[in-house]
Amino acid sequence: VGSEVQFVEFVHARSAALLRLAVLLTGDVQDGEDLLQTALVKAYRSWWRLRSPELAERYVRRILVTSVISWRRRGSRREQATDRLPDCQVAGLEVEVADRVVMRQALRALSPGQRAVLVLRFFDDLSEQQTADLLGCSVGTVKSQTSRGLAALRRRVGDLTDDERVGREK
Amino acid sequence: VITLEDRLRSYFRDEVAELDAADTLPGVLTAGRRGRRRARALLAGAIATAAAVALVVGSAQLSTRSHPRPALQASASRPIRVLTRTDLEGWGPPSGIAAVPGGVWLASWNEGGLLRIDAATGRITARVPVGQPMEGPYSIAYGAGSLWVTDFRTGDLLRLNPANGRLIAKAHVDGLYVTVGGGYVWVTTFGHVNGRYWNRLVKIDPGTDRVLGDVLVPGNYGPGGMKVAYTPQAVWLHIDGSPFAQAVDPAKMHLIAHVSTGAAWRLAAVGSRVWVLTNTWRLVWIDRPTSKVSGSVQLAEPSSGLAPNLLTDIATGPGGTLWVGGQALYLVSEASLRVRTISGFGAVDDVSVLGSTLWVQADDGYVYQVALHPPGTSAAVPDVVMMPVAAAKRLLTRGGYAVKVVREPGLEPLGVIIYENPAAGSRALPGARITLVVSAGPVGGTSSP
């Protein structure tokens, strides 16, 4: 890593995956794009310090995760996005979509840290240790944030069987 | 039963399944621009080569591993003396160092913190967190009685007490590189201004910590930001990867010159001269803010490939000396442009000079404190042979020498100085150790063998 060409290559190669992470972390496509832009500019500023593609990727992911946490902590305007409804109301997909809406809103209700831990654990499939390394916190914190996040989600959406899910949508 | 974890997994997967990441390249990169190679200067080998060909005048060999403190004898041919050596114990790697009165501060981007080494003891006396690991301090400088550090994570310029690292003040400037000169603190930034990205030079009053002015600097953006060095005539800027240096009038805060130098790795200023360490094995100097460089020396021909041995840092020392880090430590004479290779440190990452003390942060994980003696200040050692030991000691100590007395059996009367080393009349630098060999009387006498 080091040159600008390599930076462009890095962005082309990795931005799809990074954008997915950013969108899940913010819970919003626009916010996710903003977050990724911010993170990439930050990475660009410090590009020469990132001596391998692996380090660069790790670094950008870390910026994504840590900036989204401080973003939310500041209580920015982005909190207003909570009540927004999804724009995909397709007939025949209502059940599935409604399920996604419930999950999306439940996730938005979590603290950004809890949400980040859940995204890293269940979307990125990182181990507790890897999650802790990325967040710069202890494994214990990851464990407690995960269980608290899951408990909060469970209160809102519950563990559903297929039958319950269908019944619920009646 | 579908568990919550499974539902979460499928929710996450579905939620982003159709995302299109077509346009995520940051606005800082303009389309079609050719990438420039950021050859992190490959000069070390070049200097070594040049030195081997014609320039080398001598080398000081340090013993770094075998002694806890490689206490070198200073002599006319050895311009340095190692005072302390500090083991960083895996901390780092440091990304910048700044000598301060009584010590040195090291900044580590990877560690997300600073560390202070005390000059008197060589011990680590303070650790200060800055930013977080992999996103820590970007640059560090000493001046105006304070230590100045840019925190990349927050964009803050931190003003710290150089004795203990306590925070005195901070200013949010989105700072990258920082230097101090002319009574002001100069910080370069990179960020979004008026709808596009700019490099910017910010002038800060260290008395009030207020921003006094700034200049937007046109030109390409480089991945490393804009380097800065201060001279009274101009604040010199070099944007990473760009082939020229730019000068800003420090009072009026506008651009006054634009000089082709080639892509640069580091800048260093002394007096009104600024030194540019270029990526093409050239050492360039500029004395005035005009459109031409004042001089340059090609240290060697650039090799075709990227070599791992780079020139890493440059600092200006007393008596017209330049200290350059690289595959070894290099001493360049401003006047003659002769290069001396000082081996024994191994590869050198960062150098910083304050007064006649040089701090060397080497690749081996140690930080060395080195006493500098500018060439040409050595003097003839006084003749003390046959003098009483006490009087000889007094004379030599007053002359700035360190004195060591050893006793050897001899035919001379007991207690008489038989000879001195280095010999009377030879050249030695201040601080050099003079060994007095004193007669212990005839063999078989009272002396120990």
Q: What is the pLDDT tens value at each position of chain B, 449 positions in all?
A: 778 888 899 889 888 887 776 666 665 554 323 222 222 222 223 333 333 222 222 333 332 222 233 223 333 345 578 889 999 998 988 889 999 999 999 999 888 999 999 999 999 999 999 998 878 899 999 998 999 999 988 889 999 999 999 999 999 888 889 999 999 999 998 877 777 778 899 999 998 889 999 999 876 656 677 889 999 999 999 987 678 899 999 999 999 999 998 877 788 887 888 988 877 767 889 998 888 899 887 665 555 444 434 667 889 887 778 888 877 888 888 878 788 888 788 888 899 998 888 999 998 889 999 988 654 456 677 788 877 888 888 888 877 788 999 888 877 778 888 888 887 777 776 667 888 988 887 765 444 44
Residue A95 parent element (H or E): helix A94-108
Residue A40 parent element (H or E): helix A29-45
CB atoms within 10 A of CB B194: 6
**Contact between B90 and B372 (Cβ < 8 Å):** no
Q: Do A18 and B24 touch (CB under 8 A)?
A: yes
Q: Do A11 and B26 touch (CB under 8 A)?
A: yes
CA A28, distance to chain mean position in Å, is: 9
Q: Do B132 and A162 touch (CB under 8 A)?
A: no
Q: Do B176 and A45 touch (CB under 8 A)?
A: yes
Q: Do A41 and B28 touch (CB under 8 A)?
A: yes
The residue among B356, B357, B385 whose CA lies nearest residue B369 is B357
d(CA B40, CA B62): 27
**Contact between B180 and B144 (Cβ < 8 Å):** yes
Q: Do B134 and A66 touch (CB under 8 A)?
A: no
Residues of chain B contacting A62 with CB distance shorter than 8 Å = 134-135
Q: Considering all CA atoms of chain B, what is the largest pairwise distance in Å, rounded to the nearest integer?
A: 103
Q: Do B2 and A103 touch (CB under 8 A)?
A: no
d(CA B58, CA B71): 19
C-alpha dihedral sign at B392, B398, B399, B403: positive
What pLDDT is attached to residue A166? 47
CB-based contact (8 Å) between B134 and chain A? yes
Within 8 A by CB and 6+ apart from B227, the residues are: B177, B188, B237, B238, B239, B240, B264, B266, B267
Tokens of B33: 């621009």
Q: Do A45 and B3 touch (CB under 8 A)?
A: no
CB-based contact (8 Å) between B405 and chain A? no
Residues forming beta bridges with residue B151, ordered by sequence position: B137, B156
Within 8 A by CB and 6+ apart from A41, the residues are: B26, B27, B28, B197
- Strand order of the β-sheet with B244-248 is B226-230, B235-239, B244-248, B255-260
d(CA B355, CA B101): 9
Residues of chain B contacting A46 with CB distance shorter than 8 Å = 109, 135, 138, 152, 223
CB-based contact (8 Å) between B198 and chain A? no
Q: How far B224 CA sits from the closest chain A CA (Å)?
A: 6
Mutation target to probe the A interface, by most A beta carbons within 10 A, among B20, B42, B135 is B135
SS3 A96: helix
Can you give the length of chain A in residues? 170
Convert the pLDDT of each residue in A149-170 to its tens digit: 999 998 888 655 444 444 444 4
**Integer CA distances (angstroms), B220 to B63, B85, B291, B418, in order:** 45, 41, 19, 69
What pLDDT is attached to residue A6? 77
Give the helix ranges, DSSP H, for B131-278.
none
**pTM score:** 0.65
d(CA A120, CA A99): 21
